[in-house]
Structure 1
């Protein structure tokens, strides 16, 4: 929230908006964002209310990696410039398999929850419950999984941390009984 206020104050200075105009300027920005969001197509199978609650589009079916997920997921690239970032949306009960983001230097992954409720787990640690605003840092060369909580839609921004000698290994599915025991 503090960042948003700073962002709006900074842009207000550039646009010569007075502080008394700030509430209407902030409302105008929110309205513009909502109008832009309404222009994103909502994929079949994704509830409209959930898709419209997100800051980023849901994207296209994640068919290229479907074999590594227990249900349906969607992928929307956010940035490919300085770092690769994508919004990944999971239907209820969908998680990915255990996997490792290898790197000889740097690398790893950051996950930022932007909607719904989900989990991330690093091997040997307890699962981390993710709700909007939760940030999870996955070090390079670390076995982990992430996805929706049972019964909840879930979206996160996946940030591919820059590094050298990077590759991914997709491994076995998460134990279904263990996953179903999560609330």
Structure 2
């Protein structure tokens, strides 16, 4: 039996408004936690123009994050590097302790699976928003 969502181009349910992390996003996003154990995996969906703040997945050993793009168009950028455009099928491996952000393009919804890589003494440090000026240059 074909899942109707997959048939319509939706792989995972969008989830609820991402109110728990709304302070760390510019724009509206949605979160559907697919698993919590043994590894947290969340489906994050961004409305057009939405992006998360700069942030760092800190760890003393291991850790980081993996993004699996499942829909729409978005961006990923590490501090000091050019932003890269993302599309379905793209994979981004984010090393621990690297400041970065990700989000939708201004004209497209964007969805990715966010996989938290296990590590020691892991924590997420949220930093400043990606400014409208920075974002508009992309």
Q: TM-score range by the shorter chain?
A: over 0.9
For 2:9 and 2:69, how far apart are their aligned partners in 1? 13
Structure 1 residue 155 and structure 2 residue 111: aligned? yes
Q: How does 1:26-175 map to 2 (within 5 A)?
A: 28=1, 31=2, 33-34=3-4, 37=5, 52-175=8-131
Bigger radius of gyration, 1 or 2? 1
Aligned length: 137
Cα deviation, residue 83, structure 1 = 1.2
For 1:168 and 1:86, how far apart are their aligned partners in 2? 15
Q: RCO greater where, 1 or 2, for CA within 8 Å and sep 6 or more?
A: 2
- SS of residue matched to 2:85: strand
Structure with bigger strand share is: 2
Give the TM-score of the pair, scaled to structure 1: 0.72
Structure with bigger helix share is: 1
Cα deviation, residue 153, structure 1 = 0.4
Q: Deviations over 1:135-171 (max 9, x none)?
A: 0111001100000011110000000000110111111
List, as ranges, runs of 4+ consecutive aligned residues in structure 1 with deviation greater than 2 Å: none
